[in-house]
Structure 1
Amino acid sequence: MPVRNRPPVTSNAPEPLMHIRDWPADERPREKLLARGAAALSDAELIAIFLGSGLRGRDAVSTARELLAAHGPLRVLLDCPPAQLAKLPGLGPARACALAAALELGQRHLRAQLERGAALTDPHAAGLYFAQRLRGLPHEVFAAMFLDTRHRTIAFEELFRGTIDGAEVHPREIARRALAHNAAAVIVGHNHPSGNPEPSAADRAVTARLKQALALVDLRLLDHFVIGDGPPVSMAARGWV
């Protein structure tokens, strides 16, 4: 009797989940953070630390990746109000509150570095502060940070609001506000709602006009930051201030 070819026996059972604790130590998010610092972690790994565990059948990192793929990128995800975050798969009220609290702590820590009394020795900190204040706004906003003779922060003001693709800037008004604060130097910044942080020709022209206007009243323009997705773009670093 001939032997019939039979299809191989297959199983629909899912493969066993490999927990993060079973990963090599240098690949686990917490161990990587402790050994190399938070900057060494990907967006998904940072979120995974807040999640602690993933959805059924998935680890925390996989769940974080799915969150970013469906509701990201990171800026869009974290700009969601806490009540909206709480409804996303894998988060819930407790984790959403933890994320919102962590963001606010970061903002307060940065503001504390820029409070009057400590000189601004790291221009990068000013760029991050502008990013936290302006990134995610649906319209363009032009803001200024006023500093004293020792480059200590006196005040931060949002001066001009525009549309999705532009804002009219008046250098004389910025000079007037600087004199009102008895400032010696100014840092300005504005956001690009499109997300593209590349300075436009108009941005460069405004910077040149503003530098000239401030110099007439013995004020220095230290930098102009353009805020979009990714790191703030410093026009001083490009030699345009």
Structure 2
Amino acid sequence: MKHTKLKAGEMVGTYLVTSPVTENDIITMAKRFTRRKLAKGRKITQPSQAFEHLQLLLQDYEHEVFSVLFLDSQYRVIRFEEMFRGTIDAAIVYPREVLKASLAYNAAAVILVHNHPSGDPEPSDADRRITVLLQETLRLIDIKVIDHVVVGSEGCISFAERGILSI
């Protein structure tokens, strides 16, 4: 897909389609805009601000993908990174690798994110266990886990909003 298919509109945030586009073109463009919404410097004061973007990025995978949104002390995005890929119903998450990336990006906080290819975003017992393990690991170096978001085609579930994130 070429960038020439879109042209900036007269109003900020509007675009004109300059040539025919396919459904794939539209999805690709939407994902590109979504990645911009999670770009460095964007402030996230509520994890729900990122739900729509995270759902668009992760809901179509046929396998689990575990990602981390690394944030600075003001909860501005440093980086969004897909860290682990798994099978249709599980992904192995290595706390050591999350810790290393958090230190490399000098993150003060993180939002953990993963998808459920089944479409049902209801957290599993394994999701709860890895969240506790990552919280304990990152807490040792003063990095706060502010949420764990599970993405499905049926929506997103926030551990923080559900009150299942240990603080």
TM-score, normalising length: structure 2: 0.79
Paired-residue identity, %: 45
- How is 1:220-231 mapped onto 2 (pairs within 5 angstroms)? 220-231=144-155
State the Cα distance separating 1:170 from its structure 2 match: 1.4
Q: In 2, are the aligned partners of 1:115 and 1:152 still within 8 Å (CA)?
A: no
- The one-letter amino acid paired with 2:43 is A
Aligned residue for 1:123? 47
For the structure 1 residues 136 and 239, does the alpha-carbon distance in structure 2 shift closer, same or farther, using more than 3 Å as the test?
Answer: same
Whose helix fraction is larger, Structure 1's or Structure 2's? Answer: 1
Which protein has greater RCO, CA pairs closer than 8 Å, 6+ apart?
Answer: 2
Contiguous gaps of at least 5 residues in structure 1: 1-95
Deviation per CA, 1:42-101, whole angstroms, max 9, x where unpaired?
xxxxxxxxxxxxxxxxxxxxxxxxxxxxxxxxxxxxxxxxxxxxxxxxxxxxxx826445
- Number of equivalenced pairs: 148
**Are residues 139 and 217 of structure 1, via their aligned partners in 2, closer, same or farther at CA, if it must alter by over 3 Å?**
same
Q: For 2:81 and 2:42, how far apart are their aligned partners in 1?
A: 19
Checking the alignment, whether the CA contact within 8 Å between 1:110 and 1:125 is kept in structure 2 is: no
Other-structure match for 1:201 = 125
1:105 positional shift: 4.3
2:89: which partner in 1?
165
SS at match of 1:232: strand
**One of 207, 210, 214 as aligned partner of 2:134:** 210
Q: Which residue type is aligned with residue 177 of structure 1? A: A
- Paired residue secondary structure (1:226): strand
2:135 matches 1:233: no
| Cα shift at 1:136 | 1.3
Corresponding position of 2:34: 110
Spell out structure 1 runs of 4+ moving beyond 6 A.
Answer: none
Following TM superposition, by how much is the alpha carbon of 1:227 offset from its aligned partner in structure 2, in angstroms? 1.2
> Does the CA contact (< 8 Å) of 2:37 and 2:53 recur in 1?
no
- Give 1 or 2: higher strand fraction: 2
Across the aligned residues of Structure 1 and Structure 2, the Cα RMSD in angstroms comes to 2.2
CA apart distance, 1:173: 1.3
1:133 maps to 57
Query: Structure 2, unaligned stretches of length 5 or more?
Result: 1-19
Q: Secondary structure at the match of 1:97?
A: coil
